[in-house]
Amino acid sequence: MVRIAIVEDDLQAARQLQEQVEQFGAENKVETQITLFSDGAKLAGDYRPEWDLLFLDVDMPVMNGFETAKSIRETDPDVCLIFITNLAQYAIHGYDVGALDYLLKPVKYPALAMRLKRVLRLLRTRENEALILKTDGNMVRVPLSRIYYIEIFDHNLQYHTVEGVITTGGSTLSSLEKSLIPQGFVRCHNCYLVNIRYIDRVHGNTLRVAERELPVSRNRRRAVIDALLSYAEGKSV
C-alpha cells in the first residue's frame, strides 16, 4: 500500500488529483490510501513519518508548500515530495527540500502518471531493505521502513510495525543491532531497538515512538541523541 497525503486548499483541485491517483492505482494494480489536508499546517503540526508521498500545493494561505516541506524535513528526510504549482519557476525552490518533482496546474493525468511511476520505482528500491521473519510457521517479509521498534519480551522478539505486531523467536536483539544500526536503527535500552525515523522526541530517560514511551538507558542516551541528530541532518547513522 502507498500512503499519500494531498495538501491543497482548493477542495475541487484536491478531489480531482485524488481521482487521478486512484485511476493510476487501478490501472497499475497499486493499492493507495489517500488523505486530504486543506493546509500545510494541518499536516505539519502533528506530523508523523508514516507517509510515502506528499503532494504539496505551493500557494496556501496559512502555511505554504515550501514552509510545510521545510517543517516536515526536520523529522522525515525520506518521504517523497511533489509540489503542485501554477508557475514553473517556483518549482526550483523544491530542490532545497529534496523534492522529487513538481506538477503544473491544472494537473494532467499523463504528467501525474509519469511522476507516480518514478515514486513507485523509488519505493520498491527502498522495500528491498527488509527482514524475512518466521512466525506461526509462515515467512513474512517486513520492510525496515515499516518497523517502529523491536522489543525483546519473554524470550521472543516483537516487531512493532505500521501494520501491527509480529512475534518471532530464534534470534537476539544484539544480533539484530549489528545489522540494523547501519540501516537507521538505534539501541535505546537492553530491551528495545528503535527505528530512528519514527522517534518523536527524547526527554529525560524516555523516548516517544508510535505513541508509546520507551525507556532510554543512561549509558545509551548519548548514542540515541547523536543518531537522531545525524538522521535529521541527512547523514548516515
| Domain annotation covers residue 55 | yes
- In this structure, are 18 and 99 located in the same domain? yes
- In this structure, are 106 and 135 located in the same domain? no
- In this structure, are 170 and 147 located in the same domain? yes
Domain encompassing residue 157: 130-232
- In this structure, are 88 and 181 located in the same domain? no
pLDDT at 91: 64
| Domain annotation covers residue 193 | yes
pLDDT at 36: 98
- In this structure, are 224 and 201 located in the same domain? yes
pLDDT at 237: 39
Per-residue pLDDT in tens (0 to 9) along the chain, 237 residues: 899 999 999 999 999 999 999 999 999 999 999 999 999 999 998 888 789 999 999 999 899 999 999 999 887 878 999 999 988 776 666 677 888 899 999 999 999 999 999 999 988 877 668 888 888 777 887 888 889 999 999 889 999 998 899 999 877 899 889 889 988 999 999 999 999 989 988 999 999 998 899 999 999 999 999 998 888 766 433
- In this structure, are 20 and 122 located in the same domain? yes
- In this structure, are 102 and 159 located in the same domain? no
**Cα dihedral sign, 57-100-52-117:** positive
- In this structure, are 17 and 43 located in the same domain? yes
- In this structure, are 42 and 122 located in the same domain? yes
Q: Which set of grid coordinates corresponds to residue 5?
A: 497525503
Residue 67 is part of a domain; what is its CATH number?
Answer: 3.40.50.2300
pLDDT at 92: 67
Pairing, β 206-209 against β 199-203: antiparallel
Total number of domains constituting the chain: 2
pLDDT at 132: 82
pLDDT at 16: 97
pLDDT at 230: 84
Q: Of the residues 99, 127, 155, which one is the last residue of a structural domain? A: 127
- In this structure, are 156 and 48 located in the same domain? no
Q: Of the residues 98, 127, 156, which one is the last residue of a structural domain? A: 127
pLDDT at 106: 95
The span from the CA of 227 to the CA of 167, in Å, is 26
Residue 220 is part of a domain; what is its CATH number?
Answer: 2.40.50.1020
Q: Residue 144: which region, alpha, beta or left (left: phi > 0; alpha: psi -120 to 50)?
A: alpha
pLDDT at 183: 87
Q: Of the residues 127, 150, 184, which one is the last residue of a structural domain? A: 127
pLDDT at 128: 67
- In this structure, are 102 and 168 located in the same domain? no
- In this structure, are 159 and 101 located in the same domain? no
pLDDT at 157: 94
| Domain annotation covers residue 237 | no
